[in-house]
Amino acid sequence: MIVIGISDAHDEIGGIDRMGDVLRRADLVLLTGDLTHFGHSSQAARVVEAVRRYAGCVLAVPGNCDHLDVNTWLKQEDINLHTGARIIGDFWFAGLGGSITTPFQTPFEYSEDRARQFISEAAAGLPEDTPFVLVSHQPPADTSCDRLSNGKSAGSTAVREFIETRQPLVCFTGHIHESVGTDQIGRTKIINPGQSRHGRYAYAEITDQEALVELRSV
């Protein structure tokens, strides 16, 4: 299965349009949050529709810069993974939107305890001992995908604990724009492609045993 991850569009669709040929070849496109820049459902719809022009199958989680009506709209569109799980083809996908508390008081933030609750709700929909993919706007703590420009970790311990325990094949993430990169926790590949406005995306070829992941750009 070929999966493309796009993160942190922040209302910009130019990068998505440049990815058109890439998106057409994907079995699934994942939007890993911050579709808007402190926007609402109408702005999110514009980004999703830009992806749908090319992609046949799309799933998403809201980000911390998306107002809560974005979460509601994604549910109405039946593409929302936040606190849920979905099977596409032979693989399960579970999701966590929003982020832990930031200094910026963005629209969709919560505590680490709340993150644990949300991610547990998502995991409740997963069959035991089945390979799956985690789609989390919030990156796990202490990886190369969660570093601020000053070098400090801005990741979630709750997300990291979940990955250490459940070992998804891949964690598609975003949120920290300056921390474009890949990492690994156990067998789980972590990938943060950064802002899609720059034409960056996460590429993954997934089998039931492993995932090949790469940072790519157009």
Which tens digits make up the pLDDT trace of 156-165?
999 999 999 9
Rg of the chain over all Cα atoms, to the nearest angstrom: 15
CATH number at residue 157: 3.60.21.10
Helix (H, G, I), strand (E, B) or coil at 129: coil
Amino acid, res. 158? A
Q: How many domains does the chain have?
A: 1
Q: What is the pLDDT of residues 44-74, one digit of tens each?
A: 999 999 999 999 999 999 999 999 999 999 9
Query: Could you tell me where the DSSP H helices lie in the chain?
Result: 14-18, 20-24, 41-52, 68-76, 112-124, 157-166
Q: Please choose, from the candidates 30, 28, 37, 29, the residue with its C-alpha nearest in 3D space to the C-alpha of residue 9.
A: 37
What range does the domain containing 194 cover?
Answer: 2-217
What is the number of helices (H) and of strands (E) in the chain?
Answer: 6, 13
Helix (H, G, I), strand (E, B) or coil at 150: coil
- pLDDT of 210 > 90? The answer is no
